[in-house]
Amino acid sequence: MCSFTLLFTVFTLILPILIHVRMEENHLALKREAITLLHSHLQSTDTVPSYFTTEQGITINIIREEAFITGCADWEGAEKEICLYERAK
């Protein structure tokens, strides 16, 4: 009886928590990759506006506004897009 209770606890509590943690790790890894790509393209691009999608499904859009250049990254499953700003040269 005790082993059944322990097994039931593992399947109903611990397993879903571990699955959720793994999904959040993947989400944060994709977010970190999107920010890194956005930063590197924002620093290295000479052509503004720029719009492209990476193999990972990250869409990067770089536009020039009055005093600065805005670069935004969006991907499937993202709660909101992430934007970085740089002063226009």
Q: Looking at residue 74, what is its pLDDT?
A: 93
Q: 66 with 21: CB under 8 angstroms?
A: no
Query: Is residue 46's pLDDT more than 80?
Result: no
Mean pLDDT (whole number) for 1-27? 87
CA 69 – CA 83 distance, rounded (Å)? 10
Q: Looking at residue 54, what is its pLDDT?
A: 86
Number of domains in the chain: 1
Query: Is residue 5's pLDDT more than 90?
Result: no
**What is the dihedral sign for C-alpha 80, 53, 25, 12?**
positive
Domain holding 6, by residue range, is 2-87
**pLDDT tier at 83 (50, 70, 90 boundaries)?**
very high
